[in-house]
């Protein structure tokens, strides 16, 4: 097919045929369409969108670009969780082992950082030795042994998403509802799961900052899942401030491990509990959300979730001693404080800017092939709604390269707002989108 004609069609607002979508993705994955032509199509999609049929076709074309896990012979319910991307979002590192400890099989294919958001792969790779580039057979072995496995897209698995994800990151085409939906759902469907829980973020640090867009993204993904016979639940959660206290790879691993030990920050622990409870319900290992929450509490209190994480770290080549000795993780040489300029209440910690500040310190990549510094990042000692005195510390900046610090400090200061009056933070969990709201699935506030 004529590649410029496909680009032109979308640029001018026409609908692509199924054949055009399949042909484009197949040739791009094979290397027969150069990045510059694919970038042009991505930008056209960014502006013109894709309708539901085109989004479903794109998902299917991306799914077909790689192998699919066949887990039919495993008797455990196979349920995964995926987030649409946020700042300080380390929930996967808690939720996956907790869900596996509670009797689910969790085959988790994740991504690297996109834009200002962090990625699960870079976080776990800050554990010395941890490998996320696994072959199909290794992934299967870890999954059979631990009940969970973590890896990234490869030439074998989610091949089209691997290339598109990297290209979208550097061409300002991340924030597109159909592109996000197809990226996430093609990866998840390749995992051979029965069900999926989606954490769709909204607020300044999300790729869908407006609640209406988050709803639209959630329903597109739920619909795609339903078309493949999967049980999909989407929770819409707040991403107007960073999740938890830590932003940055090794710092987030420590916070996730603390949460697995029952000592995590309140917002992070609450979100992990809700996501895992929904996974248990989707996997039908519990009959109600109440029971799912109790199961989460029990695998945390008993240490089984932490043990699962230690197992997967060891199986994927990492050193499980880091879970007790945090000094074995990379740590930054310098720490700078950001303090309150006046007395008041924290009114805002603008998530997008905080994510960008962490990237500016070296936690993320400027280019696809650049390396990251796993030690750097931010620790928030105050969150939205907290009172502060003048000069009191709000944030600690962990760095190695002093030349990067002034810009990061400037970004962080500009992203903090104070109010003289008490402030009530936005609720963490906003809404739920699913095809089946029977069985008490709408009841998290109850
Ligand atoms: N996560 C993904 O896997 N893909 C996206 O496009 C955004 C978040």
Six-digit token string for 146: 């631990």
Q: What pLDDT does residue 368 have?
A: 62
Ligand 1, atom 2: nearest CA belongs to which residue?
Answer: 184
Do residues 254 and 331 make contact, with C-beta atoms less than 8 angstroms apart? Answer: no
CB of 183 within 6 A of ligand 1: the answer is yes
β-strand 79-83 against 195-202: which pairing, if any?
parallel
**What separation in Å is there between the alpha carbon of 26 and the centre of ligand 1?**
20
Q: What pLDDT does residue 446 have?
A: 27
Q: What pLDDT does residue 340 have?
A: 97
**What separation in Å is there between the alpha carbon of 432 and the centre of ligand 1?**
19
CB of 114 within 6 A of ligand 1: the answer is yes
Return the exposure string of 309-344: e unless at least 16 CB atoms fall within 10 Å of the residue's CB, then b.
Answer: bbbbbbbbebebebbeeeeebbbbeeeeebebeeeb
**What separation in Å is there between the alpha carbon of 134 and the centre of ligand 1?**
20
Q: What pLDDT does residue 44 have?
A: 98
Q: What pLDDT does residue 326 have?
A: 98
Nearest atom, ligand 1, residue 85 CA: 8
Q: Is the dihedral of CA 380, 383, 386, 389 positive or negative?
A: positive
CB of 203 within 6 A of ligand 1: the answer is no
CB of 180 within 6 A of ligand 1: the answer is yes
CB of 86 within 6 A of ligand 1: the answer is no
CB of 84 within 6 A of ligand 1: the answer is yes
**What separation in Å is there between the alpha carbon of 324 and the centre of ligand 1?**
32
CB of 111 within 6 A of ligand 1: the answer is yes
List the chain residues with pLDDT less than 50: 437-446
Q: For a substitution probing ligand 1, which of 84, 120, 157 has the most ligand atoms within 8 Å of its CB?
A: 84
Alpha helix ranges (H) inside 12-91 = 18-30, 35-48, 52-64
Ligand 1, atom 5: nearest CA belongs to which residue?
Answer: 180
HSE of 302, CA atoms in CB hemisphere, 13 A: 13
**What separation in Å is there between the alpha carbon of 334 and the centre of ligand 1?**
32
CB of 118 within 6 A of ligand 1: the answer is no
Six-digit token string for 445: 């506030």
CB of 83 within 6 A of ligand 1: the answer is no
Ligand 1, atom 3: nearest CA belongs to which residue?
Answer: 184
Q: What pLDDT does residue 367 have?
A: 67
Do residues 68 and 192 make contact, with C-beta atoms less than 8 angstroms apart? Answer: yes
> Smallest Cα–Cα separation from 335: which of 382, 405, 411?
405
Nearest atom, ligand 1, residue 179 CA: 6
**What separation in Å is there between the alpha carbon of 414 and the centre of ligand 1?**
27
Q: For a substitution probing ligand 1, which of 152, 184, 187, 221 has the most ligand atoms within 8 Å of its CB?
A: 184
Ligand 1, atom 8: nearest CA belongs to which residue?
Answer: 84
pTM for this prediction? 0.95
CB of 85 within 6 A of ligand 1: the answer is yes
Tell me the C-alpha distance between 193 and 95, whole Å. Answer: 16
3 state DSSP class of 389: coil
Return the exposure string of 83-104: e unless at least 16 CB atoms fall within 10 Å of the residue's CB, then b.
Answer: bbbbbbbbbbbbbbbbbbbbeb
Q: For a substitution probing ligand 1, which of 50, 111, 196 has the most ligand atoms within 8 Å of its CB?
A: 111
CB of 184 within 6 A of ligand 1: the answer is yes
Nearest atom, ligand 1, residue 111 CA: 3
Ligand 1, atom 6: nearest CA belongs to which residue?
Answer: 180
Tell me the C-alpha distance between 412 and 346, whole Å. Answer: 13
Q: Tokens 């409870």 — which residue?
A: 277
Which residues are the active-site residues?
82, 161, 168, 183, 187
**For the segment 74-83, what is each residue's pLDDT rounded down to a tens digit?**
899 999 999 9
Six-digit token string for 393: 């510390």
**What separation in Å is there between the alpha carbon of 115 and the centre of ligand 1?**
10
């Amino acid at each position: 097919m004529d590649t410029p004609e496909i680009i032109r069609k979308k640029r001018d607002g026409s609908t692509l045929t199924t054949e055009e979508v399949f042909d484009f993705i197949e040739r791009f994955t094979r290397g027969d369409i150069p990045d510059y032509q694919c970038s042009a199509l991505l930008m056209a999609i960014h502006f013109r969108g894709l309708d539901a049929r085109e989004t479903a076709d794109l998902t299917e074309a991306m799914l077909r670009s790689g192998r699919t896990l066949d887990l039919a012979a495993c008797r455990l319910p196979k349920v995964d969780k995926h987030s649409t991307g946020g700042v300080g979002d380390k929930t996967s590192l808690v939720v996956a082992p907790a869900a596996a400890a509670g009797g689910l099989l969790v085959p988790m294919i994740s991504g690297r950082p996109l834009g200002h958001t962090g990625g699960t792969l870079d976080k776990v790779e800050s554990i010395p030795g941890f490998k996320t580039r696994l072959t199909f057979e290794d992934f299967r072995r870890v999954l059979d042994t631990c009940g969970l496995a973590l890896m990234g897209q490869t030439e074998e698995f989610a091949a089209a998403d691997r290339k598109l994800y990297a290209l979208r990151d550097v061409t300002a085409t991340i924030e597109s509802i159909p592109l996000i939906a197809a990226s996430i759902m093609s990866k998840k469907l390749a995992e051979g799961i029965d069900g999926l829980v989606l954490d769709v973020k909204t607020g300044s640090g999300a790729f869908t900052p407006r609640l209406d867009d988050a709803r639209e993204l959630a329903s597109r993904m739920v619909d795609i899942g339903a078309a493949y016979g999967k049980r999909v639940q989407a929770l819409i959660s707040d991403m107007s401030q960073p999740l938890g206290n830590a932003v940055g790879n090794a710092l987030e691993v420590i916070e996730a491990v603390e949460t697995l030990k029952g000592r995590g920050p309140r917002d992070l622990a609450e979100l992990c509990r809700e996501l895992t409870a929904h996974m248990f319900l989707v996997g039908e290992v519990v009959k109600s959300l109440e029971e799912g929450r109790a199961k989460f509490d029990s695998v945390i209190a008993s240490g089984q979730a932490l043990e699962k994480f230690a197992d997967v770290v060891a199986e994927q080549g990492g050193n499980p001693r880091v879970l007790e000795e945090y000094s074995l993780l990379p740590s930054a040489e310098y720490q700078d404080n950001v303090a309150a300029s006046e007395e008041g209440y924290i009114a805002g910690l603008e998530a997008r800017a905080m994510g960008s500040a962490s990237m500016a310190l070296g936690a993320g990549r400027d280019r696809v092939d650049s390396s990251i510094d796993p030690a750097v990042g931010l620790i928030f000692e105050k969150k939205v709604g907290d009172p502060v005195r003048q000069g009191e510390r709000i944030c600690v900046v962990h760095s190695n390269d002093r030349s990067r610090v002034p810009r990061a400090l400037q970004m962080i200061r500009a992203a903090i707002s104070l109010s003289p009056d008490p402030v009530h933070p936005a609720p963490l969990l906003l809404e739920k989108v699913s095809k089946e709201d029977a069985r008490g699935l709408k009841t998290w506030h109850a």
